[in-house]
Chain A
Amino acid sequence: MVNLLEIRDLVVSYRTRSAPVRAVDGVSLSVAPGEIVAVVGESGSGKSTTAHAVVRLLAGNAQIESGSIQFEGADLAHVPERSLRTVRGARIGLVPQDPAVSLNPVKRIGEQVAEVLRLHGLADRRNAALKAVEILDRAGLPEPEGRARQYPHELSGGMRQRVLIAIAIAADPRLIIADEPTSALDVTVQKVILDHLQHLVAQSGAAVLLVTHDLAVASDRADRIVVMSQGRIVETGPTAAVMNDPQHEYTKKLLASAPGLTLAAAPPAKATGKRLLEARDLVKEFPLPGAAPRRAVDGVSFHLDRGETLALVGESGSGKSTTGRLVLRLADVGSGTVTFDGADITRSRPPATRALRRRAQLIYQNPYASLDPRFTVAQAIEEPLRVFRIGDRASRGVTVRGLLDRVALPQTLLTRRPAELSGGQRQRVAIARALALSPDLVVCDEPVSALDVSVQAQVLELLVQLQEETGVAYLFISHDLAVVRQLAHRVAVMRHGRIVETGFTADLFTNPQHDYTRELLAAIPGRIISEGAPS
């Protein structure tokens, strides 16, 4: 079979202040007509750069150094810009990464879809508008006539991604490049969109180059998988072969750390019986100008024992983060009560709140934003000790170094600033800071969702290990049921500000009671394979 796309020895480098950095270093891959090929890798692996190089839509400081990109008889790496324009949009469609910012905010939806047809002379002005509605309908956008007249900000993230898919398929291209098309979306939406995209290409016979960081997504969708690391392809092959019999060390590592693919046993229930935290009927409303207030948390009750991990799981806007902030008194409770270690802290006064701060800490999703850019690692970890005047300077230094050991960071990092650390290192620093005062409770707000999968696994492991050593209790907030399964003793599923189901982790996964829980479970990518595989 003749390949539709044939990339040979592609080298792309970025000019930086010091020396050019090779982001793509001799990549060769091919896509046959109608085939779905997934390029999988962690951030910085060069997967996105490879995909964008195909249509030469690279950042200003990036340059194709060598190699060829054969597509329908032309070498796209070397054709002039003018002939590239007849390929982009018409023969190759691109579905970009982040639907929130990938549509022109001041143009109507319909116009943006019709623009593709107009640019390639596939329709005149009137025709284009009508066809755009038709294409939006095909892309699965509800009420396409009405939506076509709206602006991007009036649409949800999932709908915007459908618009971007509509733009990509408008001219009926032979190849669709999808760059992390659903990473910014909620899991349930993710599944629906990917299902639809797969259905569309099956109909039209277009091929897809799917770029993703998520091996599970790739295994669900692709015919073939290409694994990239540090600008090179480390492994490539049919999906089943790569998933069941990985050859390269890196692929094995990725597979082992992908949460959706490993069926690690859920930790057994842990009931020490010593109640640490109890929330009862929590309600929190946010005032909206000129409208009824939005109820972010709507009657939430749960409890947490010492040394236990309770996971709060829900999609964006479910109120899980707000709940976490309420129990830490970082936001004022509307109504309901919070009891911490037997004391009612719902409306505690500053001295009592400060006492609470010493025993309850928070770890944020984005470790970069939660560390002061001007503080060194040592200063950041020392801050809680200094604030509570624990020990003198020398003894605090000893404690800080001990904490650094605990989170498995080398002492050489003490004088670095956050900008000089990797994402995983930053989150370890944040964990060390949270543990400095030996708290009884740590609220972890999506602590790993900004990290690469392999780093994710390490940080989760660290959290479990620290719990065993110190007996700290975690309130673990996450959108990802798969992540939660590895470390939560109990899980509470939240939706629209309410808890719809609470249960022991193993029970909830094998025997979900609520429809929404079932929907969430079904949306976890990679289930097909992991369930089929003998465990």
Chain B
Amino acid sequence: MPRYVIRRLVQAVGVLWAAYTLSFFILVLLPGDPVSAMAGAGADSAPVDPARLEALRHEYGFDQPVPLQYLNHLGHALIGDLGDSVATGRPVTQLITQALPQTLLLTASALTLAFVLGGGLALAATFSARPGVRQVLLSLPPLGVSVPTFWIGLMLVQFFSFRNQWFPAFGNDGLKGLVLPAVTLAVPTGAQIALVLAKSLITTLDEPYIGTARAKGAGRRHVHLRHALRNASLPALTVAGLLVGQLMANAVVIETVFSRNGLGRVTQSAVSTQDIPVVQGVVVYGALVFVVVNLLVDLVYPVLDPRIVLAPRRPVVAAV
């Protein structure tokens, strides 16, 4: 067991390194001159003093050969230094860690909500004996994944903040301010969970061992909860990493919609100002979350499925 954990940890670090490298090369090697973009601070294309450009180039090390730049940056990254923001001059790590608590609170509440709603929906849909109810319930998740998340947010704001003034439309104020963004975020994720779990429950309920359980004299609820659910939740668990990744990405957009402080704000302004170190920091942070979630899933998996003998598992692409 410890050997397995260590191996998975090493793998996780490997993925993080690779994600860092990939983002570095996307940001530095793709056409587009970061320095003139920095100096021009985005859209307006006023001519910039060449001397100032040269100074900037030197300051950020862009005048060095690329491999050297890469090693230099990687060395710093290893000790937790992702460089300084071009726009504000503050350390990237600090920017991200300051913005993080708000975003984590939001994503955590959204994830919980998504699990409860999505899981409940899948269970209710597959348990219902009435074909009509079943069909209506099963048609909800495809709807949930088809709607733009930011639009759901705007619709909720329109109804609950402008028409009825039940919840604040903007800002980070307390629990009340958390409700609308969390619900918005929970819709697509919950729909995904419901899709995967319902599909998996339906195939599981056709398995011969379900027939065995019914032949024992077990009732529908007993079969559903004691036999089908645990088996069916395994494929749903494998997509957890992807779902959390998506959730975080959506959070970036949703924070913008609700004008909340958090990682989304940081990201959006960094992209607008082509603040490369910050963007890279966000990308690496995204990979970190994915890696951590998958690590957790890998550790939980053998507990739920005795057939898995602690073998390394590749993350699975959502098959929905």
For the complex, give the distance between the alpha carbons of A50 and B293 in Å. Answer: 49
- Please determine whether B215 and A57 come into contact, CB atoms closer than 8 angstroms: yes
Chain A residue nearest in CB terms to B218: A119
User: In the complex, A55→B216 CA distance in Å?
Assistant: 10
- Residues in chain B near residue A20, CB distance under 8 A: none
Residue B212 is within 8 A (CB to CB) of chain A in the complex: yes
Knowing A57-B214, A87-B217, A115-B216 are in contact, say whether A105-B209 is a contact too (CB < 8 A).
yes
Encoded as 1 (CB less than 8 Å from any B CB) or 0, chain A from 107 to 119 comes to 1000000011001
Say whether A164 contacts B217, CB under 8 Å.
Answer: no
Q: In the complex, which of the residues B222, B227, B307 contacts A151, with contact meaning CB atoms closer than 8 Å?
A: B307
Binary flags per residue of A77-118, CB closer than 8 Å to B gives 1, else 0: 000000001111110011011100111111100000001100
- Report Cα–Cα, A86/B207, bound state, in Å: 22
A41-70 interface code vs B (CB 8 A; 1 in, 0 out) = 000000000000001010000000000000
Smallest Cβ-Cβ distance to A116: which chain B residue: B216
Q: Please, how many angstroms separate the alpha-carbon atoms of A313 and B148 in the complex?
A: 62
A104 x B215 contact (CB < 8 A): no
B222 touches A103 (CB 8 A): no
CB distance from A472 to the nearest CB of B (A): 40
Q: Is the CB of A102 within 8 A of B217?
A: no
**Chain B residues with CB under 8 A of A93:** 215
A180 to chain B, nearest CB (A): 12
In the complex, whether B313 has a CB less than 8 A from a CB of chain A is no
Q: When the two chains form their complex, are residues A103 and B209 in contact, meaning their CB atoms are under 8 A apart?
A: yes
CB–CB A106/B306 < 8 A: yes
Q: Is the CB of B306 within 8 A of A164?
A: no
Chain B interface bracket (under 10, 10 to 19, 20 to 34, 35 or more): 20 to 34
Whether A104 contacts B217 in the complex (CB less than 8 A), given A94-B212, A153-B306, comes out as no
The reply to whether A90 and B209 contact each other, CB–CB distance below 8 Å, is: no
B125 to chain A, nearest CB (A): 15
Q: Determine the residue in chain A with the shortest Cβ distance to B212.
A: A102
Q: Contacts A85-B218, A119-B218, A153-B306 given: A104-B208 contact, CB under 8 Å?
A: no
Nearest chain A CB to B232 CB, angstrom units: 11
Cα–Cα distance between A104 and B102 once the two chains are bound (Å)? 43
Do A105 and B231 contact each other (CB < 8 Å), given the known contacts A96-B208, A151-B307? yes
CB of A103 within 8 A of CB of B212, answer yes
Q: Does A167 touch B at the CB level, under 8 Å?
A: yes
Answer whether residue A120 sits at the interface, using C-beta atoms and an 8 A cutoff. Answer: yes
Q: Which residues of A contact B214 (CB under 8 A)?
A: 57, 88
- Rounded to whole angstroms, the CA-CA distance of A87 and B227 in the bound complex is 20
Please indicate the chain B residues that have their CB under 8 angstroms from the CB of A119 in the complex.
216-218, 222
List B214-271 residues whose CB lies under 8 Å from chain A: 214-219, 222, 227, 230-231
CA distance A98 to B211 in the complex (A): 11
Chain A 370-427 interface residues, beta-carbon cutoff 8 Å to B: none
Q: Is B33 an interface residue (CB 8 A)?
A: no
What CA separation (Å) do A104 and B208 show in the bound complex? 9
Asked if B213 CB lies within 8 Å of chain A CBs, one says yes
- Contact residues of A between 152 and 203, Cβ < 8 Å to B: 153, 164, 167-168
Max chain A C-beta neighbours (<10 A), residue from B215, B218, B304: B215
Q: For B63, what are the chain A residues with a Cβ–Cβ distance below 8 Å? A: none
Residues of B within 8 A of A103 (CB): 209, 212
B216: chain A residues at CB < 8 Å are 88-89, 115-116, 119, 167
- B54: CB under 8 A from chain A? no
Interface string of B98-111 (1 = CB under 8 A from A): 00000000000000
State which of A120, A151, A164 has its C-beta within 8 Å of the C-beta of B212.
Answer: A164
* CB nearest to B307 among chain A residues: A153
Kindly list chain B residues whose C-beta atoms are within 8 Å of the C-beta of A88.
Answer: 214-217
When the two chains form their complex, are residues B211 and A96 in contact, meaning their CB atoms are under 8 A apart?
A: yes
Q: Residue on B with the closest CB to A168?
A: B215
The answer to whether A104 touches B227 (Cβ under 8 A) is: yes
Contact status A167-B212, CB under 8 Å:
yes
Chain B residues, CB < 8 A from A107 = 227
Are A98 and B208 in contact (CB-based, < 8 A)? yes
Q: A102-B208, A105-B231 are known contacts. Are A151 and B306 too (CB-CB below 8 A)?
A: yes
**A99 and chain B: residue at smallest CB distance:** B208
CA–CA, A119 to B209, complex, Å?
16
The residue in B212, B213, B216, B305 that gathers the most chain A C-beta atoms within 10 A of its C-beta is B216
A-side contacts of B208, CB under 8 Å: 96-98, 101-102
Minimal Cβ-Cβ distance residue in A for B227: A104
B305 and A106 contact, CB distance less than 8 A: yes
For this complex, 23 residue pairs linking A to B, each with C-beta atoms less than 8 Å apart, are A57-B214, A85-B217, A88-B214, A88-B215, A88-B216, A89-B217, A96-B208, A98-B208, A102-B208, A102-B212, A103-B209, A104-B212, A104-B213, A105-B209, A105-B231, A106-B305, A106-B307, A107-B227, A116-B216, A119-B216, A119-B217, A151-B306, A151-B307
Measured CB to CB, the residues of A under 8 A from B are 55, 57, 85-90, 93-94, 96-98, 101-107, 115-116, 119-120, 151, 153, 164, 167-168
Nearest 9 interchain pairs by C-beta: A89-B217, A94-B215, A89-B216, A88-B217, A151-B306, A102-B208, A104-B209, A101-B208, A116-B216
Beyond the given pairs A96-B208, A119-B217, A151-B306, 17 more chain A to chain B contacts, judged by CB atoms under 8 angstroms and listed by A's residue number, are A57-B215, A88-B214, A88-B216, A93-B215, A94-B211, A94-B212, A94-B215, A101-B207, A101-B209, A105-B231, A105-B307, A106-B231, A115-B213, A120-B217, A153-B306, A153-B307, A167-B216
